[in-house]
């Protein structure tokens, strides 16, 4: 069974974002071709679950991931970090072979 881990900071942010939005079951993580290294993460609200989705849940926060990319995200930790005025999700993904200098894209 694949695993994605969610830190308490990410759990709090996900739950607050869905509460403020007023609807949704969690967040959907996808990967798209992008940047100088090949791929980038895409995060959006999830309002439904597809037939081939995996659902990861910790402390009420749900992450939905399509079966086709689960190998890329297996054993990834999703964190939410605050550095100065910048707030963002951070992926600690052991499957990545290289990242671009700005940290926006990665290769597998």
Looking at residue 89, its pLDDT comes to: 93
Q: CA-based angle 38:41:43, to the nearest 5?
A: 155
Q: What is the pTM of this model?
A: 0.87
pLDDT over 80 (residue 18): yes
Using alpha carbons, select from 41, 16, 38, 49 the residue that is nearest to residue 106.
38
Single out the residue of 1, 18, 3, 23 nearest to residue 77, CA to CA: 3
Q: What is the pLDDT of residue 106?
A: 76
Residue 13 in this model has a pLDDT that exceeds 70: yes
Domains of the chain: 4-97 (2.60.300.12)
Determine what percent of the chain is predicted with pLDDT higher than 90: 67
The per-residue pLDDT for 103 is 60
Task: Give me the pLDDT at residue 1, please.
Answer: 63
């Amino acid at each position: 069974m694949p695993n994605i881990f969610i830190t308490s900071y990410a759990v709090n942010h996900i739950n607050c974002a869905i509460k403020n939005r007023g609807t949704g079951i969690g967040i959907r993580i996808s990967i798209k071709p992008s940047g100088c290294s090949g791929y980038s993460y895409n995060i959006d609200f999830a309002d439904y679950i597809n037939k081939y989705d995996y659902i990861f849940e910790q402390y009420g926060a749900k992450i939905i991931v399509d079966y086709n990319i689960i190998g890329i995200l297996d054993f990834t930790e999703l964190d939410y970090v605050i550095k100065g005025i910048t707030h963002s999700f951070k992926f600690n993904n052991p499957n990545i072979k290289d990242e671009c200098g700005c940290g926006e894209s990665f290769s597998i």
